[in-house]
Structure 1
Amino acid sequence: MNGVESRAAARARRRSGRPSFDVAETVGNVAFMDALLVVGAASSWTISQSPWFLLVAAVGIAAATAIALIALVRRWRGWLTAAVTGGVYLVVGVPLTAPTMITDPATVLGAIAGVVTAPVTGWKNLLTLELPVGTYQAVLAPILLLILVLGVLAHSLALRARRIWPLAAPVALLLTVFGIAFGSSAVSGSVRVGGWELAGAGEAAVGLAALLVTLAWYVWRAVHARRAALRAARRMSATRATSRANRTLGTRIALSAGMLVVALLAGLVIAPWAVAGSTRDVLRTAIDPELQVRQTLSPLADYRTSFADERYDEVLFTVTTEGAPADRVRLAALPFYDGRVVRATDPTAGTGAGATAFTRVPATLGGTSGQDVAARIEIGGYRGIWVPTVGDLVSIDFDGASRAALSDGFFYNADAATGVELSRPGLEAGVAYRQAGRIDDTDRVPGTLTPPAGGPAVDPAHVPESLLAWIEAQDAPTGGAGLSELIDRLRARGLLSHALTLEDTQLPAWTQDLGEYSFEPSRAGHSTDRIGALFAALLERQNDVGGSDDALLVAAAGDDEQFAVAAALIADQLGFPARVVLGARLTSADEDLPTCDDGVCRGGDLAAWIEVQDAGGSWTAIDTTPQHSVALSPDVQQRRDPQNPTEVEPEQAEIVLPPEADPADSAPQDEETPDTPADLAWLWTALRVAGILLLIVVVLLVPAATVLTAKVLRRRARRGSRDPVDRVVGGWDEYVDAAVDHGRLPPAAATRAETAQALGGAAGSEAGRVAALADRAVFAPAPPTDAEGERFWELVDAERARLDEGLGWAARWKARLSLRSFLRRIGEIAGRTGKGSP
């Protein structure tokens, strides 16, 4: 019996120990925390931009709320709540965050591993993938985990914490911070009202919603706690209830809302102007994927190895296309020249730069326009990290047992339309993949292109002097017409040559395919010295021979390696952004250029050309391969203009002495200088800097002004109360708050007399009299008169002034700006309501 009685007693104690719920408080806290989580999920929308993400967010928020409520009812300890949260994450994580992997038996284990390792490696996947990630592999696992963890923690703090419940909102706001930090560096959308434009309307809406929900929760919590305390006080005491509390609370709410509106309007007006032209830096702009692109030799440097006999007829890869007609397959775009080689990455900038950033491709890429093309590419003898692609990549899907590793190792640069494969062993014989792309269907003729505003981009130290002299000697027009004419002359006056020497008497295979061809040796490489020697030879022949007959001006031997770089430098000098592209031609209108027969690309089909960008931002491909039908002609008779001798007879001339110098004429003459418009760029810079400084000053002064305004309005509301009792009680509260702001702590659970004795220790203090008058006003049968209320406030003002006696100006301002009085009252309310709240 004793055992039965003890178990019953234990059950009774457990039942009695369960919290008594305030339904309104519980529902309100849950609603506000869920609203903050929804705002945080909205900030992460740019990461996925998939309808599936909405399901993940909804399930995560619902699960977090349910776990927190069950933990509240069952009074779970922290470790048990954490264990249940982790278990729910593992159970729902695989089907929710890796829906595309669980349908394939070969990737199910990878999905489970991705969900399990998401807390450690998930952030890296998010930062190295091109946005939006969609539902690629298990990239949504970190977001689900964060929603669950932050949701359970925020709800638990709001529902169960007695002292630190204000931390619930900052915890929930961490989800919004995650969406901003891991999101895109580009702002979304803009709102224009007249001449005023707000950039990043989406981000502004999320930030505003987070701020409003947080403020609303704090105000609602304070109002609810205060009302609960007043109800408890009325039940426990027979003191007179006053109406001052509601009026003061309304004033505080109105004050807070007004300051919030002013701050938002100031931010919306000043911030877009002050940060105009600035970039938005997020984590993905600072993370540099561990790629081997920088360490890999420029693919153009290996160009000639493909024309060796053992590789010339080797099948590198096979391309089969459907849809839009594709004339080229590209391996690498090389926009940067450092005087030695052309590169895919800028040696002076990190790979975080837009033009050099290689990122993982999650599912599909957007932003490109044109005709759709589908290609299937099978790798043969090709080796390297550069992935053959057709058009601008939209999606890529690898085949075979190693498709998961190949997908993980594929990185793409959308600006250069270049992909790399960094997995091991990477591209090898038998690898195949399907690729969707888009091809620009606009027919642009190089002669009609217009260069963008701006000058050359290549460092002048890397541009040969002979190239500049050759361009000047051509007397060609500017713009696209000049570019087309100069490249045509460069190709016509060059001679194709893939080797420096012939190793044996047998002609190499590449010369046999050229028909009647006279071999000329040429050095490899495309350094500044090599390109300078090419143009020096062209310029020397033109100066010796003269005229414009290209057949008589053939003077430089080389192949696509040299001539593509030379053409890119010419385009750069004319103001066109240019890049060298290595790949192969599938079709060509020029019969002299090699193409892949039936999509079979061999070593001898590799080619290099250039792409130039016009003022509209579009890229146009221009072939640069030199001709091979006209050989170099060293024995060309020098042709000169006919010389007609003319006798010159000296004329009779008289020597005229110059006039004597006049010192008065030695002063420099005023030259008329044309009027030039004043450069006001400095003014905009100065105004912008001044605006930013003003914004910083305003931000720094707003908190101080807010505290001072809140105290003035609080004192005015207390002193101006219509109820005489409220006026006296408000005066007592004003005195206590002033003492607290001066660093004096009132004793806990003390009467007014005891509080006055503790706070009014200075000589001549009449704090005791203030306390006595306040007690009489509250407990006396008749309320005080208006005159008594005024005299009471005069005593309060005198006591407040006495608190400042002996203090320096710094200590006085410290007391005026102190928040101790506000925090003390919030703590008292939280402490009183916490005893009876769950």
Structure 2
Amino acid sequence: MTAAPTRRDARRRPAPSRTGFYVGQAVVIDLLLAVGAIAAWPIYRSTAFIVVVSAGISAGHVVAAMGVRWRWSGWWVALAALGAYLALGVPVAAAGSLSSADAALRALVSVATAPVTGWKDLLTLELPLGSYQATLAPTLLLFLGSAVAALSIAWRGTRWWMPAVAVSLVPAVFGVAFGARSLAAPLRVGPVAVQPETLVGIAALVTALVAVIWRTTDERRRALATASAATGVVRGPGGRRRGSAARAATAVGMVVVAIAAAAVWGPWALADQPRSVARSVVDPILELERAPSPLAAYRASFTDERYDETLFTVTASTGLDRVRLATLPFYDGRTVRAVDPVTGTADPMTSFTRVPSSLDESAAGAAVVTVRMGTGTGIWVPTIGALRAIAFEGPRAADFADGFFHNAATGGAIEIADPGLTAGDAYRLDVVPEPAAAPVASLVPSRTGPSLPAEAVPASLTEWIEAQQAGSGGSGLETLLDRLRSRGYLSHALQLTPGQTPSWLQDLGEGGFQSSRAGHSADRIGALFTQLLDREAEAPGGSDADLVAAVGDDEQFAVAGMIIADQLGFNARVVVGTRLASAEDLPVCDEGACRGGDLAAWIEVQDAAGRWTPIDVTPQHESFPSPDLEQRRDPENPTDVRRDEAEPVLPADASPADGDRPAQDAPDEQADLSALWTAVRIGGISLLAVVVLVGPLVTVLAIKALRRRGRRRRPDVAGRFTGGWEEYVDTAVDHGYPAPAHLTRQELALLFAQGADGGAGTRLATWADRSVFDVAPPSTEENDEFWRIVAAERSRFAAGKGFWARLRARLSLRSLLPRTRPRRR
């Protein structure tokens, strides 16, 4: 016969200590927060992130413990957490700003506004962020706030403790939502490939189950211990072990099934699938869409006013021969541009992001390049090679860093600070030199047909390609581009000023001037190839020197080369920049000083392996176009001009895309509004900080005022009395009085009086009871007197209390929360 599962002890045991409960609850919450830190690690990849997470969780423990120890209300806990965040923000989340008082002040402003504006930095910066400026401030606030909220709920809650587990999972959700657009490389464990994101999800699931099981087990153990201490009846250990084993087996089985399903199904389901995260749908607001294409303004650099102006000066080591200003991958038949006219900034080719730290720390062979600006290049920032990091110099370095955006896919960069880079501004680039260009003939196209729309490709261009019979692939592309360049003629102007020779024509030294229109629309490119076809029809079988007919410059020939490469199946793009060195007789920057006349445009072609190869397309200028073709003109019929009857006819405005730009009128003098803008900006930031800090407090006051107004203006008189009684009780509750639900109104009035004259409260209770139960409810005059007594009672509750006690009562949330009847023991 088995022993009884329970036994009675004459001595009652003391209740178990709460210290173990607090420590154990903190440990399981910390496990959940640690999983969130692992999920958010790829966003920063910096030791500063570990310091921020550790400081945030530790400060959260302290604030939550102080709130439990001194029984603070939710408002005081929130204010303490906010104070801890502001105190730790600069030294922990923006430690690099402690070098100067000015930088520390700016960092303090960034930390204070991070709860509202910090998400923008997290979504518009290129990952990893490192410890860039104050980007760690939102993470500090997240982990500190999650720790405070989760521990406060878990330590104080008896029944509603489950939200603590959900709050502890918020950092893990943050790591996923603000992470990279693409999945990390899978981890291989033997034949099984597991995504790191899957492992993070499994860890979050396991730790959440551990937290739930620990809490339920602890509550069961404490309930049994309390019952044992009260009754002396002790439950045998066998039942506890069997119950714990069953629950543990169930939990382990669930976890094993979930892990097996995720490991097998996850990689297959997520293969080649884009990852939808917050940065996938939020793009930086840039000036790209409003900025004109730099190729459209290309010819303006060859006027005598700008030809010898120094745009910028480059100090670089040997082996770096091209400076990139703008990369223009898209052509719509009118102009080439950096933004896709169809998809806009959603295309990866136009995904400009800020550079927080090093873009590719694993790259070897980095070089340092220094660029000092002259007259400048607008929003386009000169870069060389593959960018790793950029560091601006001077007093506006922080502004330039905030306004610098880089496109990793194209290598282009822009600066949108207002004002932008001006004369004297400088920056240092850490770059990786691009590999040596492969021979054009060795390139293999990545597709079998063109990608440009048919309306953007001139018919004369496709006709000319077919007439050359150059073949396909890299060899065909090399042949076509060589013939295009050798049968073209360089010209940067539509006409010459009588008696003057432009600087660009003097530097050429050979040949002569030939007129050419600006622009690179499909019509302009079509006219270029029409000239070639007409000349080939007149001189079939002639040499390249005999077939020179296409007149233009890099603006037209770069677009023509891009379309030719596209027709052969190559991805191609136009690059505007300068050359530091050239194997051909092409303009280069003398001693690194790049002038307006050194500006050039070339194309980059991508082969099947994904490599981009630069190809020069500048036409030759030694062989002048054949006079047989160029001297053909419409017959000139002499006309007698009567000057007294002649009327001048003004020409139509020329299109900037298809001709030389008309001279711009002198800009109107405008008032300097920079000081006003600075004041408005500072005022806006200050107002935003005030709204963040004071907004919740004002909201509570407004809710209570609207509630009081609604109660006093109820349509029926009886409702106004009951509403006034509710206002009386809520006021007492906000001032710390208990309001048990089982007491009558008369009993509550005596309870709120606490030894004082309870006549006022008793009158309120009597009137409220009459309004509900009496056949004839009180009159309107009595209602006014009722609400006057309610106001007097509110003053009585606040009398004798200090300022902070009265403010705490005004902001208390106790009256806004539902009050339930107490459970019977």
Shorter-normalised TM-score: what interval? 0.7 to 0.9
Match of 1:747 in 2: none
Q: What aligned pairs does 1:306-385 form with structure 2 within 5 A after superposition?
A: 306-322=301-317, 324-366=318-360, 369=363, 371-385=365-379
Q: Is the 8 A contact 1:370 1:440 kept in 2?
A: no
Q: In structure 2, how many angstroms separate the alpha carbons of the residues matched to 1:835 and 1:330?
A: 78
The residue aligned with 1:286 is 281
Query: Which of 541, 544, 548 in structure 2 is aligned with 1:550?
Result: 544
Query: Is the partner of 2:98 in helix, strand or coil?
Result: coil
**Do the aligned residues in 2 keep the contact of 1:586 with 1:595 (CA within 8 Å)?**
yes
Cα shift readout 1:118-163 (whole Å, capped 9, x = no counterpart): 1111111111111111111111001001111111000111111122
Q: 2:168 aligns with which of 144, 147, 172?
A: 172
Picking from 611, 615, 630, the partner of 2:608 is 615
Structure 1 residue 241: Cα displacement: 4.3
Report the equivalent of 1:89. Answer: 85
Q: Say yes or no: does 1:595 pair with 2:582.
A: no
State how 1:258-657 maps to structure 2 within 5 Å. 258-322=253-317, 324-366=318-360, 369=363, 371-547=365-541, 549-591=543-585, 593-635=586-628
2: distance between equivalents of 1:460 and 1:513?
39
Cα deviation, residue 249, structure 1: 4.4
1:99 and 2:92 are equivalent in the alignment: no
Shift of 1:277: 1.8
Q: Which string of whole-angstrom CA distances, capped at 9 and with x for unpartnered residues, describes residues 18-44 of structure 1?
A: x98522221111001011111111111
For 1:395, give the aligned amino acid: A
Alpha-carbon separation, structure 1, partners of 2:254 and 2:48: 39
For residues 776-800 of structure 1, the C-alpha deviation after alignment (integer angstroms, 9 at most, x for no partner) is xxxxxxxxxxxxxxxxxxxxxxxxx
Stretch deviating more after TM superposition (619-628 or 504-513): 504-513
Cα gap change, 1:225/1:636 in structure 2, threshold over 3 Å: closer, same or farther? closer
What are the superposed Cα offsets for residues 662-690 of structure 1, whole Å, 9 maximum, x if unpaired?
xxxxxxxxxxxxxxxxxxxxxxxxxxxxx
Q: Which moved more, 1:504-513 or 1:264-273?
A: 264-273
> Separation in 1 of the partners of 2:517 and 2:558?
15
Q: Which moved more, 1:411-420 or 1:447-456?
A: 447-456
What is the distance in 2 between the residues matched to 1:44 and 1:96?
A: 17
Counterparts of 2:388 and 2:41 in 1: how far apart (Å)?
21
Shift of 1:109: 1.5
* Equivalent residues of 1:368, 1:392 under 8 A apart: no
Q: CA deviation at 1:182?
A: 1.0
Which residue, out of 44, 47, 63, partners 1:67? 63
Q: Is the 8 A contact 1:371 1:441 kept in 2?
A: no
Query: Displacement of 1:209 after TM fit?
Result: 1.0
Which residue does 1:663 correspond to in 2?
none
SS in 2 for 1:394: strand
Aligned amino acid, residue 550 of structure 1? D
Change (3 A) 1:370 1:529: farther
* Pair 1:222–1:280, CA change in 2 (3 A): same
Distance in 1, Cα, partners of 2:487 & 2:389: 42
Q: Which moved more, 1:239-248 or 1:304-313?
A: 239-248
Shift of 1:253: 3.1
Give the aligned residue type for 2:60.
A
Letter in 2 for 1:180: V
* Secondary structure of the corresponding residue to residue 44 of structure 1: helix
SS at match of 2:449: coil
Distance 1:202 1:454, change over 3 A: farther
| Residues 331, 368 of structure 1: alpha-carbon distance in 2 compared, 3 angstrom cutoff | farther
| Structure-1 residue corresponding to 2:130 | 134
Q: Is the 8 A contact 2:603 2:616 kept in 1?
A: yes
Give unpaired runs (5+ residues) of structure 2: 1-14, 631-820
Deviations 1:215-241 (A, max 9, x none): 011111111211222233334347784
* Counterparts of 1:454 and 1:20, CA distance in 2: 78
1:222 aligns with 2:220: no
Q: Are the equivalent residues in 2 in contact too, given 1:122–1:139 (CA < 8 A)?
A: yes
Mapping for residues 745-824 of structure 1, pairs under 5 Å: none
Structure 1: stretches of 5+ with no match in the other structure: 1-18, 638-830
Determine if contact 1:369/1:439 at 8 Å carries over to the other structure: no
Q: CA deviation at 1:107?
A: 1.7
Q: Is 2:196 the counterpart of 1:202?
A: yes
- How is 1:733-748 mapped onto 2 (pairs within 5 angstroms)? none
CA distance in 1, matches of 2:291, 2:219: 65
Shift of residue 369, structure 1, vs aligned partner: 4.6
The offset of 1:305, in angstroms, is: 0.3
Q: How much has 1:548 moved relative to structure 2?
A: 5.2
* Partner SS for 1:302: coil
Q: Quote the offset at 1:196 in angstroms.
A: 4.5
Query: What letter matches 1:70 in structure 2?
Result: M
CA drift at 1:245: 5.8
Does the 8 Å contact 2:198/2:262 carry over to 1?
no
Between the two proteins, what is the percent identity of the paired residues?
A: 49
Structure 1 counterpart of 2:154, which letter? A
Q: TM-score, normalised by structure 1?
A: 0.71
- Cα offset for 1:170? 0.3
Q: Distance in 2 between matches of 1:156 and 1:238?
A: 33
Aligned residue identity for 1:527:
S
Which letter maps to 1:282? V
Distance in 1, matches of 2:455 and 2:187, equals 45
Name the SS of the counterpart of 2:213 in structure 1. helix
Q: How far has the Cα of 1:447 moved from its partner?
A: 1.6
2:148 partner amino acid: V
Q: Secondary structure at the match of 1:253?
A: helix
1:350 positional shift:
3.2
SS in 2 for 1:551: coil
Q: CA deviation at 1:835?
A: 11
Q: Point out the more displaced range, 624-633 or 394-403.
A: 394-403
Q: Is the 8 A contact 1:288 1:350 kept in 2?
A: no
The alpha-carbon distance between structure 1 residues 208 and 548, as it changes in their structure 2 partners (threshold 3 A), is farther
TM-aligned CA distance change 1:20 to 1:225, over 3 Å: closer
Q: Determine if contact 2:437/2:613 at 8 Å carries over to the other structure.
A: no
Instruction: Kindly provide the CA deviation profile for residues 409-463 of structure 1, in whole angstroms up to 9, marking residues without a partner as x.
Output: 1111011101101011102112111111111233422121222245322222211
Aligned counterparts of 2:239 and 2:311: Cα–Cα separation in 1: 87
Shift of 1:353: 2.5
Q: Cα deviation per residue 1:257-293 (whole Å; 9 max; x = unaligned)?
A: 2133223322322232233221001111110211010
Cα distance between partner residues in 1 of 2:192 and 2:458: 49
Does structure 1 conserve the Cα–Cα contact (< 8 Å) formed by 2:437 and 2:614?
no
Normalising by structure 2, we get a TM-score of 0.72
